[in-house]
Amino acid sequence: MARSGPSRREVIKGAVGVAAGAVAARLADAMPAGAQPPAAPPVVPIDPTRVTGGPTTAVGSRSPFVQPSRAPVGLTEGTSKTPLQLLSGTITPSDLHFERHHGGIPLIDPAQHRLLVHGRVAHPTEFTLDDLKAFPPVTRPHFIECAGNGREAFRKPRPDLTPQQVDGQLSNSEWTGLPLRDLLAEVGMDAAATWLLAEGGDAARLTRSVPVWKALDDALLVYAQNGEPLRPETGFPLRLLLPGWEGNINVKWLRRLELGTAPWMTRWETSKYTDPLPGDTARRFSFEQDVKSIITTPAHPEVLRPGPRIIAGFAWSGRGRITTVEVSTDRGATWRPAALVGAEHPKSVVRFTLPWRFDGRETILMSRATDETGMIQPTRTEWRATRGPGSDYHYHDIRAWKVAADGTVTFANGEVWA
Amino acid sequence: MARSGPSRREVIKGAVGVAAGAVAARLADAMPAGAQPPAAPPVVPIDPTRVTGGPTTAVGSRSPFVQPSRAPVGLTEGTSKTPLQLLSGTITPSDLHFERHHGGIPLIDPAQHRLLVHGRVAHPTEFTLDDLKAFPPVTRPHFIECAGNGREAFRKPRPDLTPQQVDGQLSNSEWTGLPLRDLLAEVGMDAAATWLLAEGGDAARLTRSVPVWKALDDALLVYAQNGEPLRPETGFPLRLLLPGWEGNINVKWLRRLELGTAPWMTRWETSKYTDPLPGDTARRFSFEQDVKSIITTPAHPEVLRPGPRIIAGFAWSGRGRITTVEVSTDRGATWRPAALVGAEHPKSVVRFTLPWRFDGRETILMSRATDETGMIQPTRTEWRATRGPGSDYHYHDIRAWKVAADGTVTFANGEVWA
């Protein structure tokens, strides 16, 4: 802070010298790699109080100085990632929710959409959206995370990875819908039913088996997200939400639920989403996302100036509430508890923050979260010892960032756990 | 619900008959008046599972079947309204936050923006955004409501008003920023300071006087909203947030805070935003927004079919938490408590819901909220008796909707309080 610094008049005078080219260069610096550059650099008035501003609009747009993108390295088929390093608070803006689909995003007319519930039920029923909205609604914040989130960073922990590239298949929303148990009561589920099959209405017709105990616990059928209808890429007009469970089982574009007495062993739970373990065994149905955290600032590609700043990031657990997030600013030698926002909500992203001063000396920053079941984030070595070399999902080992003496920040998991 | 209703095959077969024209007509029905029609009606596949869906995108878009608009009756200069009837949960999507400005929306380069803090302080200081982000951040949900919200409905309670037209100058966001008290401690505020002046960086240079006690209580300087930077129309890159206080004093595009010992009596608190009372007196500095609620569904222009449905809406108070929302389905003769979501947060919008069955008989629906200070929404008659005929702000009397025997719903305040 410039105590007794330049007067406002001097600042205004200074701004005269800012050419459009310099603005464009600064914009490009601030943009994540792969983001589309603006069509033209914004023409900023020397003094915005001297010119009439823009009009009201039917639907708003971001400032031209804010250009987020879900495509850190160009768009790939079926996957995009939330730019975690650009977020504040706990909510992921709906248009930046990560995407994962296997047959493209279907275009569905909500007035035509139906949910069929059948199998081991007394009253097989087809529900319209209006039918579902006549059940008492609930609203709760929950994260959704891809089972494979972190894989790229685990396999190839390159120094130039950003938080988005490391863990961007994670998003958090305020969801609105109905408890699945209310729907199952309505159709008269058989007492013998122990599993249900959920089927999506996309070209992949993704199907997953869900134990009935989860359906009767905290499962929801959701039709709204952050105050508005679901977005097409998050399941419009209807998705299954199994709080804390791996992303793919939260079936999007939900069109069918079948009640039965055994899992269906679909290809989405045999060829995919099963973890090989040491000793020729495997974890089947590894539903819960494990406790995890990541510092999102400072992080690559930030360059720090010496002085006070905030270390901040996200923590979450599929098993319940986050109780503690500890931050180390000395390569794991000592740990301090961070302040938490949103920790009252189970299976929802928590924002953690800790004031810190960068003194111009190289160091390594880390975070580790603990949840209410006592689970704590492992080191990579501990994780590998338990899960073995074949594991292909649920990478939740401690993430580390190296701050060099010149202030450059790089992803340090390759160095720390080498 | 169609028990043992049409099979999926029949439904799919039925969908074949839906012509593009019918889809367009249905879209037009669902759109609020004044919304732009889509460029072309969406071409919906007969069965979305038979065609490859759309690709991932850098930034998402709404379904073509979801076309919200802040312009219920066309855009007017400086004002737009949140389409409350389209919302679920508690969050207002950032691009649907209501707008109110007096000189247009300025385009501000965040790297050039400064906040000057001066007057009765030991260290006059100019802060950059990075300086402000180095303070420990807080994240909290709060509503913002225009002091004049409800005026149109109070003066001319026409039956064809929608929730958006009645009370759409209300929005609710998760805000992130720093406590103003931390900033005032940093600059060494004089013990003698009792008021501060907040100045906006727009062409209107809107200025308001704020008592220091509020600055030291729960006031924030915010730079993020619903996880992302503020939108241009909500103050990008920096706004003052005085939780629960009338919209205009939450100065947007904040560029200056001056500490002093008396209010400045700016034109925004003399010619505007002062309430004449009976007996040639006036309420000056009527900061707090009073306790209020509105049913957003059912509401005009919905047409109900007999059967079960949910009554839902929003409640809020500038004085603290909402403790109760009661709903009457018999023109105010009896009242039942509604279920609440978000009631743990003070000065934030609460979602209320109550299951109801429309039996095909005419009735009138109302809601009334009570806050933790014991304030309860008055009838229009009670409000008028207290505030007199000259009052021009803070219309928080009970809102009513008439459901006709044929299911049409109209705004009923004109009839109920005639």
Residues B152-192: tens digit of each pLDDT = 899 999 999 999 999 999 999 999 999 999 999 999 999 99
Contact A6 B307 (CB under 8 A): no
Cβ-count burial of B170 within 10 angstroms (0-12 exposed, 13-18 middle, 19+ buried)?
buried
Nearest CA in chain B to A305: B130
Q: How far is A74 from chain B (nearest CA, A)?
A: 9
Shortest alpha-carbon distance between residue B145 and chain A (Å): 17
Q: What is the pLDDT of residue A40?
A: 64
In CATH terms, B292-416 corresponds, of 3.60.40.10, 3.40.228.10, 3.40.640.10, 2.60.40.650, to 2.60.40.650
Q: Examine the predicted complex and report whether its ipTM is higher than 0.85.
A: yes
Rounded Cα distance between A157 and A151, Å, is 9
Q: Tell me, what DSSP letter sits at residue B48?
A: G
The confidence band for B40, taking pLDDT boundaries of 50, 70 and 90, is low
Three-state DSSP at A402 gives strand
Select the CATH number that applies to the domain covering B94-161+169-274 from these four: 3.40.190.10, 1.20.120.420, 3.90.420.10, 3.10.20.30. 3.90.420.10
Question: Quick one: pLDDT band at residue A39, thresholds 50, 70, 90?
Answer: low
Rg for chain B, CA atoms, rounded: 24
Task: Give span(s): CATH 3.90.420.10, chain A.
Answer: 94-279
Tell whether pTM > 0.95: no
Please answer yes or no on whether B63 and A310 come within 8 Å at the CB atom: no
Task: Point out which residues pair with B266 in neighbouring strands.
Answer: none
Estimate to the nearest angstrom the gap between the alpha carbon of A113 and the chain centroid.
27
Put simply, the answer to whether A233 touches B91 (Cβ < 8 Å) is no
Tokens of A288: 């819960």
What is the C-alpha separation between B416 and B398, in angstroms, rounded?
Answer: 10
Give the integer Cα–Cα distance in Å for A15 and B103. Answer: 21
Residues of B in contact with A126 (CB under 8 A): 1-2, 5-8, 11
CA distance A413 to chain B (A): 26
Adjacent-strand bridge partners of A275 = A283
In Å, how far are A333, A402, B107 from A291, measured between CA atoms? 21, 22, 42
Identify whether the C-beta of residue B226 lies closer than 8 Å to the C-beta of residue B173: yes
Strands B254-260 and B195-200: antiparallel
Amino acid code (one letter) for B50: R
- The SS3 assignment for B108 reads coil
How many contacts (CB atoms, under 8 Å) link A and B?
378
> Residue written as tokens 């879900």?
A70
- Torsion of the alpha carbons at A245, A251, A255 and A258, rounded to the nearest 10: -40
Q: Distance of CA B416 to CAs A64, A329, B381, B403, Å?
A: 48, 64, 10, 13
For B195-246, write each residue's pLDDT tens digit.
Answer: 999 999 999 999 999 999 999 999 999 999 999 999 999 999 999 999 999 9
Task: List Cα–Cα distances, B393 to B245, B277, B283, B396, in angstroms.
Answer: 13, 11, 10, 9
| B37 vs B97, more confident | B97
CA separation for the pair A252, A113 (Å, rounded) = 13
The predicted model gives A393-400 an average pLDDT of 94
Q: A389 CA to chain B: closest CA distance, Å?
A: 31
Chain B positions touching A340 (Cβ under 8 A) are: none
Give the pLDDT confidence score for residue A418 in this predicted structure.
Answer: 67
How far apart CA A176 and CA B192 sit, in angstroms, is: 49
Residue A10 pLDDT class (50, 70, 90 cuts): very low
Short-list A43, A86, A140, CA closest to A297: A86
Q: How many other C-beta atoms lie within 10 A of the C-beta of residue B289?
A: 26
Nearest to B32 by CA among B62, B3, B67, B57: B67
Fill in the DSSP letter of residue B127.
E
Domain with CATH 2.60.40.650 in chain A: 292-416
HSE (CB half, 13 Å, CA atoms) of A46? 11
Give me the architecture of the A94-279 domain, per CATH: Alpha-Beta Complex (3.90)
**Cα(B110)–Cα(B115) distance, integer angstroms:** 11
CATH 3.90.420.10 range(s) for chain B read 94-161+169-274
B238: its two tokens: 């920096």
SS3 sequence, A170-227? EEEEEEEEEEHHHHHHHHCECCCCCEEEEEECCCCCCEEEEEHHHHHCCCEEEEEECC
